[in-house]
Amino acid sequence: MTASYIALDWGSTNLRAFLYQQGECTAQIRSERGITRLEGTTPEQVFNDTIAPWQSLNLPVIMAGMIGSNAGWVDVPYLCAPVSLDTLGQHLFPVNAALPAKAWIVPGICINRDDNCNVMRGEETQLLGALHDSPASLYLMPGTHSKWVETDGSQIRDFRTAMTGELHHLLMNHSLLGKGLPAQQSATDVFRQGLSTGFSQPDITGRLFEVRAAHVLNRLEKSAVSDWLSGLLIGSEVAQMLRLFGHQHSVTIIGNPQLTERYAQALSLAGVRWQAFDGDQAFQSGIRRIVNAMGD
């Protein structure tokens, strides 16, 4: 395959498209037309709309993310871990419904054991990019559903998922903890206090109600509840995952700067060495390596 192609990072809520010409990213399109926000249209229609500005170039299209799930366009079978990320380009799934455009979807990765059932879609592509550009033995990918991925060279050995971002959203918007609160404001010190509490006492089920009680009793500013809860949840997540994977790892955090900074504070609190790697850069680097592998 040539170094000219279109890459789609197509997740649940967002769609990002990148045009590559002779190895250089020359254009980008970003939208909120993720697979849960199709608003009556089909994935095929969104695909055609997205690549329409570049369709005359007749380029191959590589897609990664939830578009390959059972809720997406095509249900692409998972690769079972342990698996080498360097082999992703050998397992692409063709999307015949995209014709006349030639399109493929990167498969996700699963773990199916008695002690761990887990799946990922999209993160595997970012991991491939980070593996070569920011190597580590443990990767942390914060988000709605944070991934913690243990690697050995290019091989994914194990991974876990923490629903921290979704829990924060649900508790703030659909539980008693968020009832009657004013607009939330950034509160760095409050976040750190919550972080310390969650890290030192990671089994936080019995402490969640205190988030409400603290502001009712005027021990916590009502506008800082979100940051306190965020710290509590992130601190708990990091403590539990380090208990599983160990503290001896160096960690690469893959994601956007805001979330990276929050998790970096938690890792620093735990005395763990870390480095940050931008999520967009990881995705594009991973796709480039997959395309190169297709041409081998």
The closest of 159, 70, 157 to 120, measured between CA atoms, is 159
- Alpha helices, DSSP H only, in the chain? 43-51, 123-133, 164-174, 188-200, 209-216, 225-245, 257-269, 279-294
Taking 70 as the pLDDT cut, the residues of the chain under it are 1-2, 295-296
Q: State the pLDDT at residue 247.
A: 86
Q: State the pLDDT at residue 296.
A: 54
Q: State the pLDDT at residue 249.
A: 86
Residue 4 contacts residue 22 (beta carbons within 8 Å)? yes
Q: State the pLDDT at residue 294.
A: 80
**Model pLDDT for residues 77-110, shown as the tens digit of each residue:** 999 999 999 999 999 999 999 999 999 999 999 9
- Would the pTM of this model clear 0.85, i.e. be above it? yes
- Say whether 62 sits in a helix, a strand or coil: strand
- The pair phi, psi for residue 5, each rounded to 5°, is -165, 175
Q: State the pLDDT at residue 248.
A: 85
Residue 293 contacts residue 90 (beta carbons within 8 Å)? yes
Distance CA 224, CA 232 (A): 12
